[in-house]
């Protein structure tokens, strides 16, 4: 009897341990299915393509809903699709919060989830569903209209599933110092150009160059070589400044393009150099 009694707690503990292992394994499977960049399983691919199609459908729905005749005719369809989409995205967000502890970076049950919720992709997931729930707590109609506009930001969720978006993110991260430097120079040039044109044109065109911030519109349009023609200098000094700023703008605004282009080339070359692994067995391919 003593032996049998001593076995019962052991068996109970063993069963709890097995349940814990089973639960952890299930959590890891769901985590891998959601994190498509880390797995190449069938569940991962199905989840990947289903969510991509749903995101694409949401973007198309938002575009079509902006057409008033279609919105009036298919209001019920749009609402039903929105309700279904938010339900799926909310469930996905909850699953990600639950399974994120399977990742070594977010092992802590509470603080790990807080850390995960503050990551850029998790914030994008939250922004994708927030416009649906905010009307229940916000009564300002202007805020509600703005929140509905944010539905189009669901397209950013493509960044989680699209290899092209991930490549662009890597390029920006690798070239962030160069981009910050060129952006700073462009901002300084923009302020100087607007200040010069304000001093040269404010007396002749007080309605169009009434302040330096107003002159910045002309500076942006000119430096980017768009040239709408709605605002332009009429004085001799203004024309001289305008020509100089236009020439400088052509070169300066081409710098970020060249930096990003060089970053893409570097990333693509690095992919060719890195060894490829078999998606099934993980062994390095020859």
Q: Does residue 262 share a domain with residue 198? A: yes
Residue 164 clears pLDDT 90, i.e. is over it: no
In a domain, 284, yes or no: no
- 151 and 244 both lie in a single domain: no
State which residues form the domain around 124. Answer: 2-161
The Cα 160–Cα 193 span in angstroms is 40
Of 126, 161, 196, the domain-final residue: 161
Same-domain pairing of 233 and 142? no
* Residue 241 lies inside a defined structural domain of this protein: yes
* 9 vs 6: CA distance, rounded Å: 6
Residue 97 lies in a domain: yes
Span 136-157, mean pLDDT? 60
Pair (145, 13) in one structural domain: yes
Q: Do 23 and 129 fall within a single domain?
A: yes
**Residue 102, in any domain of the structure:** yes
Q: Domain count for the chain, please give it.
A: 2
- pLDDT band with cut points at 50, 70 and 90 for residue 198: very high
- Name the 3-class secondary structure at 20: helix
In a domain, 48, yes or no: yes
Listed residue (138, 150, 152, 159) closest to 51, CA to CA: 159
Query: Which residue, 136, 161, 186, sits at the end of a domain?
Result: 161
First to last CA, the chain: 63
Same domain, 118 and 178: no
Is 231 in the same domain as 118?
A: no
Given a contact cutoff of 8 angstroms between Cβ atoms, the answer to whether 109 and 101 are in contact is: yes
Same domain, 22 and 119: yes
Q: Which band of pLDDT confidence, cut at 50, 70 and 90, is reported for residue 30?
A: confident
CATH number of the structural domain spanning residue 241? 1.10.287.70
How many Cα atoms are found within 13 Å in the side-chain-facing hemisphere of 259? 19
In this structure, the answer to whether residues 20 and 45 fall within a common structural domain is yes
In the predicted structure, residue 14 carries a pLDDT above the cut 60: no
pLDDT tens figures, 35-94: 755 556 777 778 888 888 888 888 888 888 888 898 889 989 989 998 998 899 899 999
Residue 283 placed within a domain: no
- pLDDT band (50, 70, 90) for residue 257: confident
Position 261 in a domain: yes
Neighbours of 46 (CB within 10 A): 11
CA angle 169, 45, 286 (to 5 degrees): 75
Of these ranges, 41-45, 117-121, 275-279, the one predicted with the greatest mean pLDDT is 117-121
Which of 161, 189, 220 lies at the terminal end of a domain, its last residue?
161
Is there a single domain that holds both residue 132 and residue 183? Answer: no
Locate 48 and state its tokens.
């990947």
78 and 56 in a single domain? The answer is: yes
Q: Residue 1's pLDDT band (boundaries 50, 70, 90)?
A: very low
Domain co-membership, 181 together with 149? no
Please tell me the pTM assigned to this model.
0.59
Whether residue 279 is contained in a domain is answered as: no
Look up the CATH number of the domain holding residue 111. 1.20.120.350
């Amino acid at each position: 009897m003593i032996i049998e009694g001593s076995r019962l707690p052991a068996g109970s503990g063993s069963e709890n341990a097995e349940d814990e292992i089973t639960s952890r394994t299930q959590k890891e499977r769901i985590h891998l299915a959601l994190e498509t960049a880390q797995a190449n399983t069938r569940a991962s691919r199905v989840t990947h393509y289903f969510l991509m199609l749903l995101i694409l459908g949401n973007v198309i729905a938002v575009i079509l809903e902006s057409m008033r005749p279609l919105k009036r005719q298919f209001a019920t369809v749009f609402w039903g699709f929105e309700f279904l989409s938010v339900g799926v995205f909310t469930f996905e967000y909850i699953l990600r919060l639950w399974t994120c502890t399977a990742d070594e970076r977010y092992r802590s049950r509470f603080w790990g989830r807080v850390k995960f919720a503050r990551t850029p992709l998790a914030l994008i997931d939250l922004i994708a569903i927030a416009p649906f729930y905010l009307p229940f707590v916000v009564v300002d109609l202007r805020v509600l209209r703005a929140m509905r506009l944010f539905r189009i930001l669901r397209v950013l969720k493509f960044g989680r599933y699209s290899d092209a978006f991930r490549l662009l993110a890597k390029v920006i991260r690798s070239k962030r110092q160069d981009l910050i430097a060129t952006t700073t120079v462009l901002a300084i040039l923009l302020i100087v150009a607007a200040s010069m044109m304000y001093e040269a044109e404010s007396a002749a065109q007080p309605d169009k160059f009434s302040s330096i911030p107003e002159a910045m519109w002309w500076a942006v349009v000119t430096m980017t070589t768009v040239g709408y023609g709605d605002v332009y200098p009429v004085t001799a000094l203004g024309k001289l400044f305008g020509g100089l700023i236009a020439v400088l703008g052509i070169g300066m605004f081409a710098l970020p393009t060249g930096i990003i282009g060089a970053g893409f080339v570097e990333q693509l070359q690095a992919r060719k150099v890195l060894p490829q692994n078999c998606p099934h067995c993980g062994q390095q391919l020859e």
